[in-house]
Structure 1
Amino acid sequence: MHKIQDLFDPTKQLNRTIESVVTFGANTEQDLSSEIREYVVTDKLHKNYEDVITDLQTAFDDSSKEVGIWVSGFYGSGKSSFAKYLGLSFDKSVMIDGVSFGDKLMSRIQDTAITAMHRTIISRHNPQVVMIDLSTQSVAGKIANVSDIVYYETLKLLGVTKCTDQKVMCFIDLLHSEGKYEEFCRLVETEKNKSWESVESNDLAANLIAANLAPRVLPAYFPDSASFKNINLSSALNEKERFVRLHKLVKEKTGKDKIIYVLDEVGQYVASNVDLILNVQGMMQIFKDEFRGDVWVIATAQQTLTEDNRQAQLNSNELFRLNDRFPVKVDIEANDIKEIITKRLLGKSKDGSDYLKRLFSQNEGLLKNSIHLTLQERSIYNQLLTDETFTNLYPFLPVHIDILLSLLQKLASRTGGVGLRSVIRLIRDILVDNHLADATIGQLAGPEHFYDVLHSDMERNSAKEIVISADKAISIFNGDKLAVRICKTIAVMQLLDDFNLSFDNPMCLVIQQRG
């Protein structure tokens, strides 16, 4: 064995395509088939699935006031995968290669008790699943209340109307609840010589027709056309009544009285606006009080809701208001990600594993002394290195994964994660595109490689000035490999507020790169 790539399990296929991040919008059979085939369920994820499915079964069977699940984790950590797959697993219509997505997920979890509970929920309750990606919901700088988004997206899913005008959507919902929808459609055909279906997708035409006919079909609400045109949705709609009507409509349209809402990136969407947080708080209170466990919300966020979490600095002070509304917590931590990276990409062959364990045993003292970081307030960067973690993650060390996760978290907080790759994709790119896998055994990854793969991402946000300065310094020291490594290390590590850029720490990371 001479090159790093010789150490790997050949079935891992380092050069295979790996998705950037899992998104809610990628729902084709091909997308889902590829995603679930690569999905790794760690021991902790296994426990999380067990806990959540148990809570759902208890709530649906016996009624419950606990209706919120908060899934937190670093950008690209797998929180969206967890929520997305859990939600889709309860939708019997989602099929992969002739098998339900739920059965595919259960085959990855590999637990007969969890599988039995999951199948019981579907057979007894068959919940309606509504998937909403909040990161795509802001339009032209306008940020809608989460409760509004949940309401309107459910109406769209039910096919209540093709119109996207919120006033018309509420009007059509009201027609259904009052039993006047068919009468309204007949009036449109009689007086406008058009079917409602043919015009409802045109927001302007739909709005004018609704204003004109509202006094005829719903005179108690609209005495004249002006009353429809001048209505203010924020003051006219009572949240509780609206969701009670919506729940009734779901049951009428689908025959289902259980609903699971899966809301991606709730934390990112509401964290900076206390009014949005209060809106979510109010919506969850309605779900809790009115539906007694029949309506659940699975929300994902980069932030946790607990003040004692070691990443508490990522939280908005106001997000803690939601803690009681989301009593079920799923926190995907760095150790979960390291296990996933090992199983999906960095797994070694038997010979490779034995070789690395011998290498670690021969150099353990020197290696541990070399990687020790000083003056670090945050212990995440000074974790214990063992022969197992060394073997599993090589040519990366645990500290490298923690640094990469923190870098992604910082870049995602500035850009919303647009265009960013997951940590496993970055590792694949370092190994293959940056040719680290072709290096001689003994070499290690480090911030030099992180700078290379994140260079374009740093340029797209407020780190652009760092890139300009670093590239200028690199051009000055071109030809001096050590100096270039130091320049890249200092540049990329400047993004991390909790990393002490003393003389010793950057040099420590540079020494690691030399192996």
Structure 2
Amino acid sequence: MLIKDMFTKDINREINGVIQVAQDTESVVYQEVSEYVVTDELLELFEKFFDAYFKAFKEPTNGIGVWISGFFGSGKSHFLKMLSYILENKQIGSSKTVEMFKDKLAASPNLDRMMEQATAVDTEAILFNIDIEGTSEKDSTAVMRVFSKMFYNHLGFFGENLKVARVEFYLYQDGKTEEFRRVFKAARTGQLAVKRLNCRPVISYRP
């Protein structure tokens, strides 16, 4: 018998050495989840996260931020990506993510219960690399701007320009997106103006 025959999985298979947000094909996601090993330390971190996350549903709070810290290569991105898969309860092949994690988290029955309750709420995860998506302008609003940009992009609006994105969002909420597109297309010789009225963006047409 060869040493390689002692392993359950093919040791010559392709393995991503670095976890990347952009790697989200079904085959990559399946490999990431199926081969993710939950150590005792990770089990404690999952419990800590879902305990705080679940409490936020019962007791609304504005303390909604979670900070994941660790040395380079300690598995921060990997852990975060697994959390995103679980919260979305992403469909992976014929199984849901939560189902694939049951055996991995079997040592903590409470965690399994909290995870089931948390994923009962429809959730969408927006993963991105803030260093790549951020701008060169580093001021007190830099983090807020990049979060807003990615949120609007996720909704299908033009997040690169937050003023435009807010106008698009307002039109969408008001159910006037299609009307705006029709007027914009018809306004070949006129002008479209964006103005603010009572702090709300309003689209007006001047022929």
TM over 0.5, yes or no?
Answer: yes
Tell me, what secondary structure is at the counterpart of 1:35? helix
Greater helix proportion: 1
2:165 partner letter: M
Classify 1:127/1:186 alpha carbon distance in 2 versus 1 (closer, same or farther; 3 Å).
Answer: same
1:174 is matched with which residue? Answer: 170
Classify 1:43/1:223 alpha carbon distance in 2 versus 1 (closer, same or farther; 3 Å).
Answer: closer
Q: Matches of 2:188 and 2:97 in 1, distance apart?
A: 45
Q: Matches of 2:203 and 2:59 in 1, distance apart?
A: 44
Query: How many percent of aligned residue pairs carry the same amino acid?
Result: 24
2:114 partner letter: M
Q: Matches of 2:5 and 2:97 in 1, distance apart?
A: 28
Residue 97 of structure 1 is aligned with which of 93, 98, 104? 93
| Residues 46 and 109, structure 1, Cα contact 8 Å, conserved in 2 | yes
Tell me, what secondary structure is at the counterpart of 1:117? helix
Classify 1:105/1:134 alpha carbon distance in 2 versus 1 (closer, same or farther; 3 Å).
Answer: farther
CA drift at 1:68: 1.8
Number of residue pairs the alignment of both structures matches: 197
Residue 182 of structure 2 is aligned with which of 186, 201, 224? 186
CA drift at 1:109: 2.2
Q: Matches of 2:7 and 2:100 in 1, distance apart?
A: 21
Instruction: Find out whether 1:10 has 2:16 as its counterpart.
Output: no
Q: Matches of 1:31 and 1:51 in 2, distance apart?
A: 27
Tell me, what secondary structure is at the counterpart of 1:153? helix
1:45 is matched with which residue? Answer: 42
Normalization by structure 1: what TM-score?
0.34
Tell me, what secondary structure is at the counterpart of 1:151? helix
| Bigger Cα Rg | 1
1:33 is matched with which residue? Answer: 30
Classify 1:219/1:53 alpha carbon distance in 2 versus 1 (closer, same or farther; 3 Å).
Answer: closer
Residue 80 of structure 1 is aligned with which of 77, 80, 95? 77
CA drift at 1:43: 0.5
Q: Matches of 1:134 and 1:51 in 2, distance apart?
A: 25
Query: Structure 1: where are the runs of 5+ without partners?
Result: 194-208, 226-515
2:153 is matched with which residue? Answer: 156
Classify 1:31/1:120 alpha carbon distance in 2 versus 1 (closer, same or farther; 3 Å).
Answer: same
Greater relative contact order structure (CA < 8 Å, 6+ sep): 1
Alignment map for 1:130-149 (pairs within 5 Å): 130-138=126-134, 141=136, 145-149=142-146
Cα displacement string for residues 59-98 of structure 1 (whole angstroms, at most 9, x for unaligned residues): 0122134312111122221111111111221114x21121
| Residues 91 and 97, structure 2, Cα contact 8 Å, conserved in 1 | yes
Alignment map for 1:487-506 (pairs within 5 Å): none
Cα displacement string for residues 333-389 of structure 1 (whole angstroms, at most 9, x for unaligned residues): xxxxxxxxxxxxxxxxxxxxxxxxxxxxxxxxxxxxxxxxxxxxxxxxxxxxxxxxx
Query: Structure 2: where are the runs of 5+ without partners?
Result: none
Q: Matches of 1:128 and 1:157 in 2, distance apart?
A: 10
Q: Matches of 2:98 and 2:129 in 1, distance apart?
A: 20
| Residues 54 and 117, structure 1, Cα contact 8 Å, conserved in 2 | yes
Classify 1:224/1:74 alpha carbon distance in 2 versus 1 (closer, same or farther; 3 Å).
Answer: same
Instruction: Find out whether 1:127 has 2:123 as its counterpart.
Output: yes
| Residues 85 and 105, structure 1, Cα contact 8 Å, conserved in 2 | no
Cα displacement string for residues 430-451 of structure 1 (whole angstroms, at most 9, x for unaligned residues): xxxxxxxxxxxxxxxxxxxxxx
2:92 partner letter: I
CA drift at 1:219: 6.1
Normalization by structure 2: what TM-score?
0.78
Alignment map for 1:24-423 (pairs within 5 Å): 24-92=21-89, 94-110=90-106, 111-123=108-120, 125-138=121-134, 141=136, 145-159=142-156, 161=157, 164-177=160-173, 180-192=176-188, 212-215=191-194, 218=195, 220=197
2:144 partner letter: S
| Residues 88 and 101, structure 1, Cα contact 8 Å, conserved in 2 | yes
Cα displacement string for residues 245-290 of structure 1 (whole angstroms, at most 9, x for unaligned residues): xxxxxxxxxxxxxxxxxxxxxxxxxxxxxxxxxxxxxxxxxxxxxx
| Residues 86 and 119, structure 2, Cα contact 8 Å, conserved in 1 | no
Classify 1:105/1:214 alpha carbon distance in 2 versus 1 (closer, same or farther; 3 Å).
Answer: farther
1:21 partner letter: V
CA RMSD for the aligned pairs? 3.2
